[in-house]
Structure 1
Amino acid sequence: MNTQNLPAPGSSAADPMDRFYAVIPAGGVGTRLWPLSRAAAPKFLHDLTGSGSTLIRATYDRLEPISGSRVLLVTGDAHREAVCRQLPEVADENLVLETEPKDSGAAIGLAAAILFLRDPDTIMGSFAADQVISPVEKFQDAVREAIYTAATGKIVTIGIKPTHPSTGFGYIRTGEPLVVAGAPSAHSVVKFVEKPSREVAETYLASGEYNWNAGMFVAPVELMLRHLKANEPELYEGLMEIALAWDTPERVAVKKRVWPTLPKIAIDYAVAEPAADAGDVAVIPADFSWDDVGDFAAIARLSSAKEVKDVKVIGEGARVFTEDSTGIVVSDTKRVIALIGIQDVVVVDTPDALLVTTRAHSQLVKNAVAGLKEQGDTDVL
């Protein structure tokens, strides 16, 4: 196919804030939150913290003061109805539906390609739909700094100040401070590092040089695509073919033909890590509270839901009795749940599946999903 060549990077006279477009990738099933989170109703469609707002709605609401209506959302075909019901503000041309999961490289890359063809001076910011962040004001300040830094020709990540030696997150090694008007916190990035062992994580924490990688990227779309083209040319070509048809009557046909052929790769490997090696990545270290709600222990920690004695209870109309027990109950039924003399328990009750585990074992819930899939019990997944 013949795709247009990307122009050399230039500068726009416009205020960088006016060039900003928020991208919300809403993918993944959240298997460690089964049976609450499933393929047809992934975790971002749920209110997991008792705040009264689903994760995807909360993501949109904290970005809207910065982006206004300039929001592009990437999600699966199967979630269109639920997403449109929760976010009626998103215009049809800004709703990107994946025919099948292809990882973040394709999702974020297609968003960049669509926005580039509409306006090559756009600065995009990608923020996952399934994160819990507070206070919102600190997050918004960090995003504004990231936008001003991106306008200088950088791919910018927002690093989270680590509060403990986590082995579940990747890390960003922070380099020298950068001089950027409007972004006093900006630093260069030395490199991204994979999820470490406990011992290595402790050294990261002690050094003060590392931040958690929350997967938030703010960048000129031209720069994102330039690195994508250099590192993953096959993916780049396919995404540009879809993007060229996006605002035409050929959108559906071209997407249906090309999307299944795209390689699967995370945006970190396709763009962020090689860009860091090239000196094109900056970081805004931030100290707001951040969690990707990866398991039921996280829900117990984050939830503002009511407590029945020492048990957190999530679910409208949940009927729970406790005696000498601690933990969390998530109920999607009217069934009475009685806990007696059991500590740190996790109970998730849905009409067709029941999970009973402990907070300490909550990361292993994904093993149940894999086992059920092998047994052929896919109707509950």
Structure 2
Amino acid sequence: MSERVTGLGPIDNFWAVVPAGGAGTRLWPVSRAGSPKFLHDLTGSGATLIQATVERLRPLAGERVMVVTGAAHAEAVAEQLPDVPREQIVAEPSPRDSMAAIGLAAALLGRDDPDAVLGSFAADHVITGPEAFAAAVHEAVDVAREGYLVTIGIEPTFPATGFGYIQEGARLPGHQSAARVRQFVEKPDAERAASYLATGEFRWNAGMFVVRATVLLDLLAQWHPMLTAGLRAIAADPARLGELWPTLTKIAIDHAVAEPAADIGRVAVVPGAFGWDDIGDFKSLTELLPKGDGPVTVVGDPEQVQTIDSAGLVVTNSGRLVALVGLDDVVVVETDDALLVASRERAQDVKQIVEALKAAGREDLT
């Protein structure tokens, strides 16, 4: 049995890496390219999503927190996270998907500490049950020290069609609940999702990965040697970031490393027995928020919302009064320069509005 990490303090050699990218187009007009969802307090907690993420990781990593974000958001991130040293906020010149972001963090950390273990946790997810989350990360680090790429799989509560899935294989000897990963599967249709739940072998893929920094780069080199070489070159000479970054392959970590590594038995999964939501759209936000006294959930000042025979979600931050009459299952999102009205069932289609605005040249609204 490997030595298990115990205690209440930060885990030795563990770094929390927080990729903070994406525009969250399904949450427009609150989330935009210039002000993505992780910079907003969408849950009414008093903290933005990225602030809540870092706060959740502090007990596990202490001061070892690294954020990888777009150059356009680096200053806003630094303002929201004043306790994170500026040199630990890495600015990407342009979006190159999750593998480049996490891989750059691995290259930087592995350069300075060959024993560094990184855990990658998205900046815009909501997690409840901090003790269960911490327990899962502790076990994941324990397994990662043995050379595995470890993912934390969420216990599915319904046959979701909006998430990818992880299929568990045989249990890993000497560990409490970790198992090998048989395969990663893409977002299924409703029938297949129901069949996954029926087997009891599948978990939601929340995109949480824990791995030794050097192991991640060694695995990546097997399938993407040029990408790995570019990341290592940037880590060796950060002044070359602007030169080399545009040459890096644009690919997600799942496709670049996790899926092929699972095929050769190098990926493990640790069950996550905690609440998790990626706030993919306004419907999921409605289900996540605590229910108020009435049928309308309000994000913002409830005094600015008046309703008669209506139900749904209102997000308001402009100070104007929002009045609803006779509307059911509705989403109303009101900002200084845009107003969205949609049904909750069509919340996924909000991204089409963003696509239409881009096609019309309205970059000022996207």
Q: Label 1:89 to 1:237 Cα distance change in 2 as closer, same or farther (>3 A).
A: same
User: Residue 317 of structure 1 contacts residue 334 of structure 1 at CA under 8 Å; is this kept in 2?
Assistant: no
Q: Label 1:118 to 1:12 Cα distance change in 2 as closer, same or farther (>3 A).
A: farther
Equivalent in the alignment of 1:260: 246
Q: Please give the alpha-carbon distance, in whole angstroms, between the structure 1 residues aligned to 2:247 and 2:293.
A: 51
| Superposed counterparts of 1:19-38, under 5 Å | 19-38=13-32
- TM-score when scaled to structure 2? 0.96
Equivalent in the alignment of 2:351: 366
User: Residue 4 of structure 2 contacts residue 139 of structure 2 at CA under 8 Å; is this kept in 1?
Assistant: no
User: Residue 107 of structure 2 contacts residue 232 of structure 2 at CA under 8 Å; is this kept in 1?
Assistant: yes
Instruction: For 2:231, give the aligned amino acid.
Output: L
State the secondary structure of the residue aligned to 1:133. strand
| Superposed counterparts of 1:178-327, under 5 Å | 178-180=172-174, 183-245=175-237, 251=238, 253-304=239-290, 307=292, 309-316=294-301, 319-327=304-312
Q: Please give the alpha-carbon distance, in whole angstroms, between the structure 1 residues aligned to 2:178 and 2:3.
A: 20
Instruction: For 2:136, give the aligned amino acid.
Output: A
Equivalent in the alignment of 1:344: 329
Give the number of aligned pairs.
362
Post-superposition offset of 1:13: 12
Equivalent in the alignment of 1:7: none
Instruction: For 2:187, give the aligned amino acid.
Output: K
Post-superposition offset of 1:309: 2.7
Displacement over 6 Å in runs of 4+? 11-16
Instruction: For 1:359, give the aligned amino acid.
Output: R
Post-superposition offset of 1:51: 1.3
User: Residue 5 of structure 2 contacts residue 139 of structure 2 at CA under 8 Å; is this kept in 1?
Assistant: no
State the secondary structure of the residue aligned to 1:301. helix
Q: Please give the alpha-carbon distance, in whole angstroms, between the structure 1 residues aligned to 2:86 and 2:304.
A: 40
Q: Label 1:186 to 1:324 Cα distance change in 2 as closer, same or farther (>3 A).
A: same
Sequence identity percentage: 55
Instruction: For 1:193, give the aligned amino acid.
Output: V
Q: Please give the alpha-carbon distance, in whole angstroms, between the structure 1 residues aligned to 2:199 and 2:4.
A: 40
Is 1:135 aligned to residue 143 of structure 2?
no
Post-superposition offset of 1:92: 2.2
Instruction: For 1:200, give the aligned amino acid.
Output: R
State the secondary structure of the residue aligned to 1:273. helix
Instruction: For 1:26, give the aligned amino acid.
Output: A
| Superposed counterparts of 1:112-191, under 5 Å | 112-180=106-174, 183-191=175-183
Larger mean CA deviation between 33-42 and 226-235 belongs to 226-235
User: Residue 309 of structure 1 contacts residue 322 of structure 1 at CA under 8 Å; is this kept in 2?
Assistant: no
User: Residue 318 of structure 1 contacts residue 331 of structure 1 at CA under 8 Å; is this kept in 2?
Assistant: no
Deviations 1:67-115 (A, max 9, x none): 0001111001111121111111111221110111110010000000100
Q: Please give the alpha-carbon distance, in whole angstroms, between the structure 1 residues aligned to 2:25 and 2:225.
A: 31
Instruction: For 1:280, give the aligned amino acid.
Output: R
Q: Please give the alpha-carbon distance, in whole angstroms, between the structure 1 residues aligned to 2:3 and 2:226.
A: 29
CA RMSD of aligned residues (A): 1.8
Instruction: For 2:56, give the aligned amino acid.
Output: R
Q: Please give the alpha-carbon distance, in whole angstroms, between the structure 1 residues aligned to 2:222 and 2:211.
A: 16
Specify which of 375, 378, 381 is matched with residue 360 of structure 2: 375
Equivalent in the alignment of 1:77: 71
User: Residue 5 of structure 2 contacts residue 138 of structure 2 at CA under 8 Å; is this kept in 1?
Assistant: no
Specify which of 101, 107, 116 is matched with residue 101 of structure 2: 107
User: Residue 5 of structure 2 contacts residue 142 of structure 2 at CA under 8 Å; is this kept in 1?
Assistant: no
Q: Please give the alpha-carbon distance, in whole angstroms, between the structure 1 residues aligned to 2:273 and 2:83.
A: 30
Q: Please give the alpha-carbon distance, in whole angstroms, between the structure 2 residues aligned to 1:13 and 1:213.
A: 24
Instruction: For 1:196, give the aligned amino acid.
Output: P
Post-superposition offset of 1:178: 1.1
Post-superposition offset of 1:332: 1.6
Instruction: For 1:211, give the aligned amino acid.
Output: R
Post-superposition offset of 1:160: 0.3
Q: Please give the alpha-carbon distance, in whole angstroms, between the structure 2 residues aligned to 1:283 and 1:54.
A: 29
Instruction: For 1:235, give the aligned amino acid.
Output: L
Equivalent in the alignment of 2:339: 354
State the secondary structure of the residue aligned to 2:210. strand
State the secondary structure of the residue aligned to 2:55. helix
Post-superposition offset of 1:33: 0.2
Q: Label 1:23 to 1:268 Cα distance change in 2 as closer, same or farther (>3 A).
A: same
